[in-house]
Structure 1
Amino acid sequence: MALIQIKQVRSVIDRPERQKRTMKALGLTKIGAVKEVENTPAIAGMVAKVGHLVEVTEL
């Protein structure tokens, strides 16, 4: 599977608890945080749910 880079660009303040938990599960806790993860179907689904809070780059 390909790697993707996920960067948090917006805050989780005033977001539903479900979105906050998804961001934490992705390992993103602060604006500007960056994680490189494998692009699995589970990760792709999580990114889709919080797509308005993150930027995704394929590596």
Structure 2
Amino acid sequence: MAAALLKKDPALRKKLDDEKAKDPTLAASASAQLNFVYRNSPYFEKTYLRYPVARLMANTKLDLK
């Protein structure tokens, strides 16, 4: 799927090639490259590791079953 994404999206391919030229660790690691493609694809969840935070301004009993 990553290969198809790179073939279909030349901008993503160029971004990957530019990053590989700057970062030898990325260039040497297939898993790092796959992760880079995933994180820059439409499939990556933009809210990854973000949690909703709220503040109750009044005493409220919450039923958290």
Q: TM-score, normalised by structure 2?
A: 0.28
Instruction: Report 1 or 2 for greater relative contact order, CA contacts < 8 Å, sequence distance ≥ 6.
Output: 1
Q: Which of the pair has more CA radius of gyration?
A: 2
Structure with more strand by fraction: 1
Structure with more helix by fraction: 2
Q: TM-score, normalised by structure 1?
A: 0.30
